[in-house]
Amino acid sequence: MTTSYDVIVIGAGISGMYQLHRLRELGLRVRVFEAGEGVGGTWYWNRYPGARFDSESWTYGYSFSEDILREWEWTEHFAPQPETLRYCNFVADKLDLRRDIEFKSRIRAARYDEALNQWEVEIEGGKRARARFLITAIGPLSAPTMPTIPGVGMFRGEAYHTATWPHEPVTFAGKRVGIIGTGATAVQAITEIAKTVGRLTVFQRTPNWCAPLHNRRITPEEQASIKARYAEIFATCRDSFGCFIHQADPRHALEVTPEVREAFYEKLYAEPGFGIWMGNFRDVLINAEANATITEFMRRKIRSRVKDPALAEKLIPRNHGFGTRRVPLESGYYEVFNQPNVRLVDLRETPIERITPAGIKTSAEEHELDMIIYATGFDAITGAFDRIEIRGRGGRRLKDKWAEGPRTYLGLQSEGFPNLFTLVGPHNAATFCNIPRCIEQNVDWVTALLRDMRERGLTCVEPTAEAEREWTEHVLDTGRRMLFTQVDSWMMGINSNVAGKDKRTFMVYAGGAPKYRERCEQVTAAGYVGFVLR
Ligand code: NAP
C-alpha cells in the first residue's frame, strides 16, 4: 500500500527537522524519511575523532524558539560533535518530531506524477509513499566519496571513511594509522588522533591554509551574557555575508600601511573562529594582490610553527591563496608534525599507486598500516541529488538536467520539477553560510509559499525557464568576482573521485546571505514573480 501525505521531506538533519516543525504548524500531514537511525544529519554521520563546529556554537543553534534558546546550554564556544548531536536530539524531543520521521529509510527514487500532480518516492527495500510536495533536506555534504585508488577494499586492517564513522569507540593507541586527505575533516581528525596514536602517516595531496580555532569552555558569565544577547547575536549574523558573527572589515588590505596590515592579521590570527576568513579586509577574497598579503602572512605562520623547515614547505599550499578554499580551523594541527611518531607523505612527490592488503603503496614505498582513514570528502552539493533517481515532468532526470552544472531558481526549485523544493540546494546562499541561519530562511520562505498557495487554493508551483536562466546567470556573474572560483575545490564542483566532476562548476551562490534574502523577499512581494502557480 502507498501512503499519501501532503508533504514528504527527505532527511532529518538541521533542515528537515525545522521544516517538519514549520509544516506541522500549518496543520499539514508531513512525513520525513531519513537514512540514519537518528536525527542530526551531518552531526549524526560525522562522528570521527575531533569533529566539532567551526562556527561559534551560540550562533549555530536554531534561533526560532525562545524555549530552546533558554533551556539549551552549549558548553564550549565551538561544540564537539557529540554535544551537537545531543542538541539535535534535545530539539527533536522538545518538538516531538520523531513521530513523523521514519528512520532507516533511504530514498532511492522520486518521480513526479503529472496526472495526479503528486510526487511518489520509493524507499530502499521497495516501500512507496506519495505527497503533493517533495522537499529535499539532504544537505550539501552528505554523499561521501571513497578515493578511486586501485585496491580499496583489499586492505586487511581497520578502514573507515570519516563520514560513516562507526558508532562504537575506535582506538588508536599502539596502532599504525594512515589517513588520506588534508581537508577540514582530516585537519580535525589528525590533531585528535595524534594525541593517542602509535604512529600516524598523513597522505597529503593538496595542503590547505589552516587557521587557529581558539576553542575554550564557555564560562558561567559568558553563558549568561550569550543568553541575554541572543537577539543581538542573530541580528549581527543576519547582516553579515555568510551569517557568521564575523563582519568583513570595511578597509581594503592595500590602503593601509604594511604595519597596520600586519597588526590586523596578528589580531585575527589570535582570535577565535572564522574572523580571519570572514572578518578580514573586504578585498582579500576578491583582489589577488590583497589576497597575496594574507597568504604571505599565513605562510610565515606555518614556517614558525613547524620545526623542520623542509616539512613546513610541504605543508604550505602552492596552488591557491588563503581563503580561496574552505579554511580548516585547527587546534594544534601544525604542531602535530613536530611529533616524532607523525610522518607526512607528500603525494605530489610520491603518488599512491594502490591500497594493498598490508597498507598503502606509493611510488616510493609500501607503508604498512593497522588502520586506514579515508578523509576524502564528499560529492558536494549535487552529489546527494545524483544518488536519488529524481524524475520530473516527462520523466526527465534531474541528474541529466544538471549534468553541465545546476540550473535553479533561487537555489530552491528547478524548472520541469514542479512542487520540488531543494533546501540548501545548489545556487542557494545556504551553501556558503553559517548553515542553520540560512536554513531557517529557506524553510520559512518555503513554508510561507505553501501557506499562501493553500490560502489561494493553488496546488502546483514551478519556476519559469526564463526565471531559472536569469538566476543561474546571476549566480555565475556573482561568483566570477570571487577568487575561489579560480581554484579547484568542492565549492566549484570538483571531485577527483567522481566521473564528470572534473570541470569547475558554480555550485554555491556567492552574493551573500543578505542579498539572497532580499531577493527572496522581493520575489514574494511581487506575487512570486518567476514562478508559475496554478
Ligand atoms: P575535502 O575538503 O573535500 O577534503 C578531501 C581531502 O581528501 C582533500 O585533501 C583531498 O585532496 C583528499 N583526497 C580526495 N581524494 C583523494 C585521493 N584519491 N588521493 C589522495 N587524496 C585525496 O573534504 P572534507 O575535509 O571532508 O571537508 C568537506 C567540507 O565539510 C569542508 O570544506 C567543510 O565545509 C565541511 N566540514 C565542516 C566542518 C566543521 O564545520 N567543523 C568540519 C569538517 C568538514 P585534494 O584537495 O587534492 O583533492
Three cell numbers, residue 25: 504548524
181 pocket-lining for ligand 1 (C-beta < 6 Å)? yes
How many Å lie between the centroid of ligand 1 and the Cα of residue 182? Answer: 6
Residue 489 half-sphere exposure toward CB, CA atoms < 13 A: 22
> Are 210 and 327 within 8 A, CB to CB?
yes
At residue 1 the predicted structure's pLDDT band, cuts being 50, 70 and 90, is confident
Mutating to test ligand 1, I would choose from 244, 315, 376 the residue with most ligand atoms within 8 A of its C-beta, which is 376
3-class secondary-structure state, position 532: strand
Average pLDDT of the segment spanning 402-411:
96
3-state helix, strand, coil in the chain (%, to 5): 35, 20, 45
Based on the number of CB atoms within 10 Å of its own CB, is 103 exposed (0-12), middle (13-18) or buried (19 or more)? middle
Distance 85 CA to ligand 1 centre (A): 21
381 close to 140: Cβ distance less than 8 angstroms? yes
Q: What is the pLDDT of residue 251?
A: 98
In angstroms, what is the span from residue 496 Cα to ligand 1's centroid? 11
Using a 6 Å cutoff on CB, does residue 498 contact ligand 1? no
* Per-residue pLDDT at 431 exceeds 90: no
Q: Which residues of 413-423 are buried (b: 16+ CB within 10 A; e: fewer)?
A: bbbbbbbbbbb
The secondary structure of residue 52, as a DSSP letter, is B
Which tens digit of pLDDT belongs to each residue from 81-107? Answer: 999 999 999 999 999 999 999 999 999
Which backbone phi and psi does 212 adopt, to 5 degrees?
A: -65, 140
Judged by DSSP in three states, 80 sits in strand
Protein residue whose Cα sits closest to atom 14 of ligand 1: 376
Q: Is the CB of 185 under 6 A from ligand 1?
A: yes
| CB of 490 sitting under 6 A from ligand 1 | yes
CB 461 within 8 A of CB 413: yes
Query: What percentage of the chain reaches a pLDDT higher than 90?
Result: 99
Residue 501 CA to ligand 1 centre (angstroms): 15
The predicted pLDDT at position 432 comes to 85
| Nearest residue to 16 (alpha-carbon basis) of 78, 107, 113, 82 | 107
Model pTM score: 0.98
**Mean pLDDT of all residues in 269-287:** 97
CB atoms within 10 A of CB 205: 16
Where helices occur in 127-219 by DSSP H, the ranges are 184-193
**What's the first-to-final CA gap in the chain, in angstroms?**
29
HEC per residue, 415-480 = CCCCCEEECCCCCCHHHHCCHHHHHHHHHHHHHHHHHHHHHCCCCCEEECHHHHHHHHHHHHHHHH
User: Residue 53: pLDDT above 90?
Assistant: yes
Mean pLDDT of 326-354: 98
User: In terms of C-beta density within 10 A (0-12 exposed, 13-18 middle, 19 or more buried), how is residue 219 classed?
Assistant: exposed
302 CB-near residues (< 8 Å, 6+ apart): 312, 315, 316, 334
Give the pLDDT mean for 254-261.
Answer: 98
Burial (0-12, 13-18, 19+ Cβ within 10 Å), 412: buried
Do 413 and 463 touch, CB atoms closer than 8 A?
A: yes
pLDDT at 39: 98
Distance 328 CA to ligand 1 centre (A): 9
Residue 64 burial class via C-beta count within 10 angstroms: exposed 0-12, middle 13-18, buried 19 and up: middle
**CB contact burial 377-399 (16+ within 10 A = b; e otherwise):** bbbbbbbbbbbbebbbeeeeebb
Going from the Cα of 259 to the center of ligand 1, the distance in angstroms, rounded, reads: 35
Closest CA to 127 of 99, 106, 112, 113: 106
Which atom of ligand 1 is closest in space to residue 491's alpha carbon? 32
**Rounded-to-integer distance, Cα 412 and Cα 462, Å:** 10
- d(CA 300, CA 312) in angstroms, rounded, equals 10
159, exposed or middle or buried, with CB in 10 Å at 0-12, 13-18, 19+? middle
Pick the residue whose CA is nearest to atom 43 on ligand 1: 185
| Signed CA dihedral, 25, 30, 32, 38: sign only | positive
pLDDT of 507 reads 92
Percentage of residues of the chain with pLDDT beyond 70: 100
Centre of ligand 1 from the C-alpha of residue 73, in Å: 30
Query: 294 falls in which pLDDT band (50, 70, 90)?
Result: very high
The Cα–Cα gap between 424 and 443 comes to: 9
> Which of 2 and 371 is assigned the larger pLDDT?
371
How many residues make up the chain in this entry?
A: 534
pLDDT of residue 325: 97
Average pLDDT over residues 234-240: 97
For residue 154, the Cα-to-chain-centroid distance in whole angstroms is 30
Q: Which of 161, 496, 497, 502 to mutate to test the pocket of ligand 1 (most atoms within 8 A of CB)?
A: 496
Question: Is 400 a residue whose pLDDT tops 90?
Answer: yes
d(CA 410, CA 441): 12
Pocket perturbation via mutation, ligand 1, pick of 160, 185, 491 by most ligand atoms within 8 A of CB: 185
Q: What is the pLDDT of residues 144-179, one digit of tens each?
A: 999 999 999 999 999 999 999 999 999 999 999 999
The CA-based dihedral angle spanning residues 80, 83, 85, 90, taken in that order and rounded to the nearest 10 degrees: -160
Q: How far is residue 370's CA from residue 358's CA, in Å, rounded to a whole number?
A: 8
Ligand 1 mean position, distance from CA 448 (Å): 36
The C-alpha cell at 92 is 527533536
